[in-house]
Structure formats: structure tokens, C-alpha cells
Amino acid sequence: MGYQNVWRLMSRFNSFRRTNIILQHLRMSKHTEAAEDVLLEKKGCAGVITLNRPKLLNALNLNMTQQIYSQLKKWEQDPETSLIIIKGAGGKAFCAGGDIRAISDAMKTKQKLAEVFFKEEYILNNAIGVGISVHGQFRVATEKSVFSMPETAIGLFPDVGGGYFLPRLQGKLGYFLALTGFRLKGRDVYRVGIATHFVDSEKVSMLEEDLVALKSPSKENVADVLETYHTQSKIDQDKSFILEEHLDKINRCFSANTVEQIIENLQQDGSPFALEQLKFLIKTRVQNGNQLI
């Protein structure tokens, strides 16, 4: 066996060993035991997934993405599983996205964790949606819900499907949310179409019980249950949409095909609202000359 072949074998072995070290590292959590990061239960015809890292706003780590994807594939083949419910523990957050801090800390020690984590996360996202919610057929918001694309604050483009669903929101609202990371709260998450239903937070547990109690869940009877709770909710019903007075400006300024032109539009508008968005875009240096989706 020549030296070249020996080197190739050793190189492959070392790569395999490094990958295993990376996987082992990401499976470890300094905040909770890995097995408790996500809870997987079967209740009647429903599979229930609970993201269980409340102290970290249920941010996803590698262990969680692997467990969730593996269980989803099993439930997909199970004729007795007709409904999947995904929720977050702790009452403060559904999911804050990927655990970027853990990846950043690992990169400081020169461990190549990002490639492994994002590969696994995007496999999961491809199966169930953004992050893990917005591409679902039914999406429930409460008065405590907050939606944003915070990755834009550090100069990243909206990921995990954001490039698909954001441009499909009314007018140019999706482009505005994509570039500014503006935070939508409560009923506004429903008003723009990100959520399909709005339910009082105190009734979410009852909603889950009613969904789990369905003997043979179908699209129609799940929708009926959700609609019942939705119509009962009166919280913020008479409160106007937070961006209502700015929609014309948003549609006008964010109708351009490049970030540079959007910046020019905001400068020409000159209103306090436009200048606030302009300040954010310049600060985060989102403008890289890229065409918008």
C-alpha cells in the first residue's frame, strides 16, 4: 500500500473521528440533559412535540433537530398518528431558532460545528417548515406571540424558508419584515397571515386537549376546532394593526428590486418612520448589492 493510499485512509478516519466529536459535543447541553431538550409524546391520534429549553427560549440544538426529525419520520409511517402538535415549554417562547450562541462558542475553539448543525436543522426544516412552524397547515398565535426575523440584525438573510413565505404576504410587508427584523406581536401575527388562527393563551391547553380528543383527525374537523377557539377570542380584537398607518410607505419604499434602491426610497420619503428603517439598514449593512427574492 503506497503512502498516498495510507494518507487517504488516515485522512478519512480523521474526518470521521472529527465528525463524531462534533456530534457528541452538540448533543451535550450545559443547561439541560440532552434527553430532556425535547419531549416526544403520543396522545391518542396525536404526536406531541414539546421544545424543552425554556431558559434558552427553546432554541434548537443538534440533539433536538435529530430527535424531532427521527420521530416525525416514525409518525409519518404510523397509521394511528393523524395529527402533530408542536409547542414550546416555559410560556415565554415557542422557539428562538437555532442555538447560535452554542455554535459561536464552539467556533471560537475551532470546532467545525456549524456545518453539521445547519445541515441537520435544514433537513428538519425541509420536513416541517420554517423553523418549525410557519409552513404548517395550521398556525396558532396568542396575545403573547412575537414574530420576527432577528437574523437580519447581524446581516444574515431570512433563512429556513423566509425567502418563500415573506414575499407572499400582503403588499410589500414581507420585504419590510425580511430587511428590518420588525417584531410583530399578538393578533398582528394573525392579521398579516403568518398565523392562521388567534387563541387566548389561557385556552391553549384546552385547545390541545380538544385536538387530541379527536378520534380520526381530518383537515376539516381540526379547522373546526381551531375556528371555535378563534371566534371566541376577543383580546385586541378592536386594536388596529400596528403598521396600518405605515402600509402605504412600506409598499412604496420596499417595492424596489434592490436594497440600494430601497435605501434611496427611504431617504426620499424622509418621514420619521422611513428614517428609522433607514438607520437600521445602514447600521446592519444589509445592503450588499443583492437582488431581493
Calculate ∠ Cα 61-63-67, nearest 5°: 120
Question: What are residue 51's DSSP bridge partners?
Answer: 38, 88
The pair phi, psi for residue 197, each rounded to 5°, is -145, 155
Of residues 27 and 231, more confidently modeled: 231
Average pLDDT, the chain: 81
CA-to-CA distance for 288 and 205, rounded, in angstroms? 45
Strand-strand pairing, 146-147 and 184-185: antiparallel
CA-to-CA distance for 251 and 176, rounded, in angstroms? 9
Residue 114: partners with Cβ closer than 8 Å, 6 or more residues away: 103, 106, 107
- The model's pLDDT over 103-131, given as tens digits with 9 standing for 90+, comes to 666 666 656 666 666 666 666 655 554 45
Q: Once rounded to an integer, what is the mean pLDDT over residues 56-69?
A: 87
Strand-strand pairing, 197-198 and 46-51: unpaired
CA-to-CA distance for 48 and 144, rounded, in angstroms? 21
Residue ranges of domains in the chain: 1-133
Binned at pLDDT 50, 70 and 90, residue 16 comes out as very low
Binned at pLDDT 50, 70 and 90, residue 59 comes out as confident
CA distances to 11, 15, 158 from 4, in Å: 10, 16, 44
- In this prediction, residue 66 carries a pLDDT of 87
What pTM does this model have? Answer: 0.73
- In this prediction, residue 31 carries a pLDDT of 43
Would you say residue 196 has pLDDT above 50? yes
- List the alpha helices (DSSP H) in 28-61: none
Q: Which CATH class is domain 1-133?
A: alpha beta
CA distances to 25, 30, 103, 104 from 109, in Å: 12, 16, 10, 9
- The model's pLDDT over 124-173, given as tens digits with 9 standing for 90+, comes to 655 554 455 677 789 999 999 999 887 777 667 776 677 888 999 999 99
Q: Are 59 and 30 in contact (CB under 8 A)?
A: no
CA-to-CA distance for 267 and 288, rounded, in angstroms? 18
Looking up cell 391520534, which residue turns up?
A: 45
Biggest CA pair distance of the chain = 78
Q: Quick one: which of 96, 17, 90 has its CA closest to 64?
A: 96
CA-to-CA distance for 238 and 156, rounded, in angstroms? 35
